[in-house]
Amino acid sequence: MVSTKYKDPTDIENYNLGRIYIKKQSTNFYKICFYILYVIFGYIVLKDLNYFPSYFGGSGDFQNMFIDGNMDSTYYKPPLFKVYYMMFLSHNLTDIIYLLFIYEQQTDFHLMFLHHTCTISLIFFSHFTNHSHIGALVMFFHDIADIIVYYMRSIINSDCSGPHKIIGGIVLMIVYIYTRLFVFGKLIYCCMINQSDWNMMYTTLWYFMCFLYSIHCYWLLQIGKKVYNGIFKKEYDDTASFKKQLKQLN
């Protein structure tokens, strides 16, 4: 489950870290399974929509979301679309409860809280303003990278070989850049240039997406820093957030 260096009870700091990492492994394994199944489910639900892009296995284009210069509010909802949407909302609501009350607090707590708040706001308001077709695309793109994110979190503090961790980190960066920066950025740009009726709700949702995009840019830098440390410094540990917390407690 974790590296042997975290199992020595005489090394108090690393042993306490190991107890935290072991507990978090259950979360990592659960989320790997959840996101794999959720991506498969999302593809089945969304693949035949005329705005689901061809480079993800569909036959549509983002432009098809707009009619007469505005996003079509009477779009077709396939079977299980609402189930797909509400499952993701419930998952994020559960995650923010765990973040606030159950998980050990990390140094990126405030950023994670902002991310979860932004995501839940996007899901909730896009659903009630009938913009859930764009929300479904955002969900699908993000979940693909999350599979690798939690896979890397499951091995980063294990005895898995260094090259394996480095290759996994590089794959994560590639997928992250493609799904969360390139495709998501293209969707944001498409919404900006095609929408003519910038009402208050649409404007707010668009700025929420931009804020979410900026968080992803920051996280990409953090991933790149970890990959750099793994290649050139042979350091494969997770972030120092828990170590800092333990020192404060001591």
Q: Which two tokens stand for residue 215?
A: 């968080």
Identify the pLDDT of residue 68: 65
Identify the pLDDT of residue 64: 87
Alpha helices in 129-240 (DSSP H): 132-155, 162-176, 184-194, 200-228
The average pLDDT across 26-44 equals 95
The average pLDDT across 171-191 equals 95
**Average model confidence (pLDDT) across the chain:** 87
**Which DSSP symbol is given to 164?**
H
Cβ-contact 124, 139 below 8 angstroms: no
Q: Which helix (H) or strand (E) holds 70?
A: strand 70-71
Identify the pLDDT of residue 249: 44
The answer to whether residue 250 scores a pLDDT higher than 70 is no
Identify the pLDDT of residue 15: 85
Burial of 223 (0-12, 13-18, 19+ CB in 10 A): middle
Q: Which of 180, 165, 173 is nearest to 238 (CA)?
A: 165
Identify the pLDDT of residue 242: 56
Identify the pLDDT of residue 248: 47
**Which DSSP symbol is given to 10?**
T
The answer to whether residue 245 scores a pLDDT higher than 60 is no
One-letter amino acid at 40 equals I
Q: Which of 116, 215, 193, 158 is nearest to 29 (CA)?
A: 158
Q: pLDDT tens across 78-134, in order?
A: 889 999 999 999 999 999 999 899 887 777 788 889 999 999 999 998 888 888 889
